[in-house]
Structure 1
Amino acid sequence: MTSDLNFTKDGKPLSDSEKEKIRLEHEAARLFMRLYENCFQVPIRHIWHNEPKKPDVSCYLNKEKLDLEIAHLYGSEVEAMLVLGRNLGEATWRYLNELAATPPDERLLTALNRLLANKADKDYHSEKVWLVIRNANPHWSREDFRQRMDAITLPEKHPFEEVWVVADFEGISGLVKIYPTEHK
Structure 2
Amino acid sequence: MVMTDRSREKRDWERQAIRLFIGLYNREFPGAGYRLLYQQERPDSVLEEKGGLRRKLGVEITHLFSSQEEAMRVLNHGRPPAAVGPGDFDVLLRELNLLIRKKVGKRDSYSMDYPIALLIRNASPGFGMEDFLARRDEVVLPEGVFSHIWFLSKDSGGNWRLLELV
Q: Is 2:88 the counterpart of 1:104?
A: yes
- The answer as to whether partners of 1:120 and 1:154 remain within 8 angstroms in 2 is no
Structure 2 counterpart of 1:38, from 14, 23, 27: 27
Distance 1:172 1:105 in 2: 20
Partner of residue 182, structure 1: none
- The answer as to whether partners of 2:36 and 2:45 remain within 8 angstroms in 1 is no
The 5 Å alignment of 1:1-184 reads 8=1, 13-41=2-30, 42-51=32-41, 54-62=42-50, 63-85=54-76, 103-122=87-106, 123=108, 124-126=110-112, 127-156=114-143, 159-168=145-154, 172-179=159-166
Partner of residue 81, structure 2: none
TM-score (norm 1): 0.73
- The answer as to whether partners of 1:71 and 1:133 remain within 8 angstroms in 2 is yes
Partner of residue 96, structure 1: none
> Which letter maps to 1:80?
A
Instruction: Name the CA shift for 1:43/1:108 in 2 (closer, same or farther; >3 Å).
Output: same
> Which letter maps to 1:141?
G
Q: Deviations over 1:60-99 (max 9, x none)?
A: 123211111000000233431133339xxxxxxxxxxxxx
Distance 1:32 1:22 in 2: 15
Match of 1:121, SS state, is helix
Q: How many pairs align?
A: 151
> Which letter maps to 1:26?
R
Instruction: Name the CA shift for 1:57/1:105 in 2 (closer, same or farther; >3 Å).
Output: closer
- The answer as to whether partners of 1:66 and 1:128 remain within 8 angstroms in 2 is yes
Match of 2:165, SS state, is strand
Structure 1 runs of 4+ aligned residues shifted over 4 Å read none
Q: Deviations over 1:118-165 (max 9, x none)?
A: 111112222211100110112211121112221111244x63110011
Percent of residue pairs identical: 36
Q: CA RMSD in A?
A: 2.5
Unaligned stretches of 5+ residues in structure 1: 1-7, 87-99, 180-184
Shift of 1:49: 1.2
Unaligned stretches of 5+ residues in structure 2: 78-83
Match of 2:154, SS state, is coil
Shift of 1:45: 0.8
> Which letter maps to 1:165?
F
